[in-house]
Structures are given as C-alpha cells and as structure tokens.
Amino acid sequence: MTDDLKPGLYSRFERYVKVETTSDDSSKTCPSTPGQLKLAKIAAEDMKKAGLKNVSVDKNGYVMGELAANTSKKVPAIGFIAHLDTAPDAPGKNVRPQLHKNYSGGAIVVSKKLGVVIRPQDAPGLADCAGEDIVTAGGDTLLGADNKAGMAVILSALEWLRAHPEVKHGPLKAAFTPDEEIGRGANLFNLKKFGARYAYTFDGDRTGSIEDETFNADALTLSVKGKSVHTGSAKNILANAARIAADIITAWPANMLPETTEGREGFIVFLSCEAGIEKAEVKGLVRDHDMSKLRKMERLLEAIAAQKRLEYPAAEIDVKFREQYRNMKIVLDKHPLVMKYALEAMRETGVEPIIKPVRGGTDGARLSFMGLPTPNIFTGGGNYHGRHEWVSLDGMEKAARVLIALARKWEENS
C-alpha cells in the first residue's frame, strides 16, 4: 500500500475537532448536547462522499453506513465504530488544532502563554513518535482525538477500500455513536439495523495498543440522613450528615483509589458529595477487572458504613450499587477469531501489538454483551480528556492500515 493517507486523515480530523461535542451527564436528551447531532450530520455527508451506502442519522445522533462486499465469498459483516462526543473533563469549545511536523523528541510546547507543555515522561508512547507528525490543541482546550481520530481513521480507510476494488472484502459497516464519554453510547444502538456480526471500536490510545478487556463497573450512591437540632443543645442528639459522609469517604483505604492504582488494580472513586446537616448524598464508581475483587470492595464499603452506623446511631446510612458494564473479555474469549485477526492485521502492517486491559470501559464492552463482540484498537494518541492531549498523525495512518488489513483478512479466511 503506497498511498499516503495522512492528508485525508488530517483534513477530516481538523474539521471534526472544531465542532464542539462535549457530552453532558446532567442532560436527559440523546444526544446530550446539540453539537453531537451537528457532527453526526457532517459525518453522514462524509460517509456518502466516501462511497458508503444506506447512510443514516437518527434523531438520537447515531450515524450508520455500509460499504458493500466486493467478493463472491460469504463473509460475515464486520463493523467499525467510533464516538462523536468528547469528555466533559476539559473545555471542548473552539478547539484550535496544531500540527507539529517531524517531531524531534523532547517536550512539545503547546502554549507558551498558558504554560501547557507535553513532556515524554508524562505522555506514554510519545517518545516512540520521533520523526512523526503530532497534533495537539492550543492549550486552552482538549484536542478531541478521543474519539474524532477514530472517526477519521474509519472513514479514510473505508474510502481507500472503495477506491481499491482489487482488495477484496465482505460487507463492512461503520457507526458513530453519541455520549460514549458519559456511558450512554450503546444505550440506543440498533444492532439489527447495524447488521454486523463482529466489530472493532477504534478508540484506543498509543500506537499498537489493543484491548479485549475492560473493568467490571458499578456506580455507587451513599446516602446519609442526619438529625438537625440547635447547636447549642446538640450534645448526644445532633447527627451531622455532611460530617458522617466525609468520615465514610476518608475511611476508605488510600491504596484503593484511582490516583494510587494502575494496571489491573481496582478502585473506588468518590465523584461528588452534596451535603448538609440533615442529608448527604455521595456519588461514586467501583471498578475492577476481576468480578470477585469488585464484590470484595463493595463489601468493604458496606462494612465501613455498618461501623459508622454504630458510631452515629441517630443517623441513617444507606449504600447502593448499580451495575454499569462488565468485562468484555468474558464475551470475546468465546469468539477467538475476532482478536486473532486483529493481532495478525497489526503485525502484517508493521505494528507490534500491545495487549492491555482498559482501565475504564468502551462502547465495545456494552455492545459485546448485547451480542456484538467488539475489542478496541488504537488511534495513536494519549493524554486524553485534557489540555495535554496529543495524537500522532502517523499513528492514525497505521490504524487505518490495520482496518484495511482486517477487512482483507476476514475475506481471505472465509
């Protein structure tokens, strides 16, 4: 493959990141923000220009299209998925992409004025990108490579396949989803309409990474009902819900927090606390790759709450857990060809796979349990969700070539 995919990749990516698509967890609509529907319509037009058929955008912002098979073989339909939204963790409005050509190594000054500098020691994978073209934002926003790089990769690869009919492939499906960053990307995904048998999300980070494993994930709600009396006569009567909630939070072991764990180590994170004397509510997340360890952490939090009930008998303390998603490896291990062909496609395009668990979730986790086995493939960047975000344009091109190789491999082995 001698075609240079980088110009088309950057052209698409640059346009996509300039559309504000920050998702909003407090919204009750789908998509949660209007910019996502705007980008969905842009992406649908790009699908049509790339030669995809049966392109659609539904009212909830799900974009779908397909590239028809060009082989007489009976090949299962393969899907490629990315998401439209960017994380609400950092500003996503007025993104100004910067292209740092032929990166020489060392620190990348994103904004001297704002003091935003990306250093290799703080950006896993960046040191391996010497000589490549690196894209950053302007220092006052995130970039949006998570996951607009995936969108550009999928469309550029499918456009290339349409222009090269000598490369045989079965039916290929493409989909872009809303609100992945707030855990809703698969909520209204129409699997029957999509029509794929297996799929891949292009939503990973550093070049070479491939993920077939996610956290098991629960949400937690800690509720405290206190008792308010005049502080002048409060002894042995007052139950301060705010203080009790804080006491429970600080009782959680410091070595089971996201800031003290890595790899396969699980954690509980306390995300928010709305509290007064009469009532308090704490929201949080429970995460672990091992389901038994997740349950063990939940039992530990319940034991802490039980101890606090003894210490504060005038208060009512309640802990509830709600399932969010489960480790997709349970499903993917039952469909070994999905990972086998992905690993072979990577090696055939000169990319050495880095198999690692996701310290989080993807649309693929939910979709796998819905019946669509879906591991996650790299897009070539890192430091997502913040002002230090970056992506390698060369890494994006490698991801596109992996997609092309995957399409060919499923056809060859059918």
Give the confidence band of 3 by pLDDT, cuts at 50, 70, 90. confident
222 and 320 co-located in one domain: yes
51 and 67 co-located in one domain: yes
Contact 90, 385 (CB under 8 A): yes
* Whether the predicted pLDDT of 2 surpasses 80: no
> Nearest 5°: CA angle at 386, between 145 and 86?
50
223 and 187 co-located in one domain: no
Among the listed residues 291, 294, 301, the one whose alpha carbon sits nearest the alpha carbon of residue 253: 301
185 and 133 co-located in one domain: yes
> pLDDT digit string (tens) for 132-170?
999 999 999 999 999 999 999 999 999 999 999 999 999
- Domain-located, residue 1: no
* Whether the predicted pLDDT of 393 surpasses 90: yes
CA 24 to centroid of chain Cα atoms: 15
> pLDDT digit string (tens) for 243-290?
999 999 999 999 999 999 999 999 999 999 999 999 999 999 999 999
- Domain-located, residue 141: yes
347 and 310 co-located in one domain: no
Q: So what's the pLDDT on residue 361?
A: 79
- Domain-located, residue 393: yes
81 and 117 co-located in one domain: yes
* Whether the predicted pLDDT of 235 surpasses 70: yes
Domain boundary among 303, 324, 345: 324
297 and 363 co-located in one domain: no
Among the listed residues 272, 285, 270, 281, the one whose alpha carbon sits nearest the alpha carbon of residue 242: 281
Give the confidence band of 325 by pLDDT, cuts at 50, 70, 90. confident
141 and 16 co-located in one domain: yes
Euclidean distance between CA atoms 144 and 147, whole angstroms? 6
Average pLDDT, rounded, for the chain: 96
Give the confidence band of 316 by pLDDT, cuts at 50, 70, 90. very high
Give the confidence band of 183 by pLDDT, cuts at 50, 70, 90. confident
> pLDDT digit string (tens) for 33-77?
999 999 999 999 999 999 999 999 999 999 999 999 999 999 999
| Preceding amide of 97 cis, omega within 30 | no
Phi and psi for 389 in degrees, rounded to 5? -65, 145
* Whether the predicted pLDDT of 1 surpasses 80: no
> pLDDT digit string (tens) for 36-47?
999 999 999 999
Q: Compute the residue count for the chain.
A: 414
118 and 249 co-located in one domain: no
pTM of this structure = 0.89
- Domain-located, residue 14: yes
354 and 228 co-located in one domain: no
Structure tokens at 296: 């063990």
Euclidean distance between CA atoms 69 and 162, whole angstroms? 10
Query: What CATH number is given to the structural domain containing 260?
Result: 3.30.70.360
Euclidean distance between CA atoms 288 and 293, whole angstroms? 7
Share of the chain above pLDDT 70, in %: 100
- Domain-located, residue 77: yes
Domain boundary among 308, 324, 340: 324
Active site amino acids: 85, 180
Euclidean distance between CA atoms 47 and 151, whole angstroms? 10
258 and 365 co-located in one domain: no
Structure tokens at 411: 């056809």
Contact 81, 176 (CB under 8 A): yes
Lowest-pLDDT choice from 114-123, 260-269, 298-307, 354-363: 354-363
> pLDDT digit string (tens) for 336-353?
999 999 999 999 999 999
Euclidean distance between CA atoms 165 and 69, whole angstroms? 10
Query: What CATH number is given to the structural domain containing 359?
Result: 3.40.630.10
67 and 174 co-located in one domain: yes
Structure tokens at 25: 């967890």
CB atoms within 10 A of CB 140: 17
Q: So what's the pLDDT on residue 360?
A: 82
Per-residue 3-state assignment (H helix, E strand, C coil) for the chain = CCCCCHHHHHHHHHHHHCCCCECCCCCCCCCCCHHHHHHHHHHHHHHHHCCCEEEEECCCCCEEEEECCCCCCCCCCEEEEEECCECCCCCCCCCCCEEECCCCCCCEEEECCCCEEECHHHCCCHHHHCCCCEEECCCCCCCCHHHHHHHHHHHHHHHHHHHCCCCCCCCEEEEEECCHHHCCCCCCCCHHHHCCCEEEEECCCCCCEEECCCCEEEEEEEEEECECCCHHHCCCCCECHHHHHHHHHHHCCHHHCHHHCCCCCCEEEEEEEEECCCEEEEEEEEEECCHHHHHHHHHHHHHHHHHHHHHCCCCEEEEEEEEEECCCHHHHCCCHHHHHHHHHHHHHCCCCCEECCCCCCCHHHHHHHHCCCCCEECCCEECCCCCCCEEEHHHHHHHHHHHHHHHHHHHHCC
β-sheet with 316-325: strand ranges across? 267-275, 279-288, 216-225, 316-325
* Whether the predicted pLDDT of 398 surpasses 70: yes
- Domain-located, residue 48: yes
Which structural domain range is residue 184 located in? 6-213+327-412
Total structural domains within the chain: 2
Domain boundary among 289, 324, 359: 324
Euclidean distance between CA atoms 40 and 58, whole angstroms? 9
Instruction: Summarize the confidence of residues 170-188 as an average pLDDT.
Output: 96
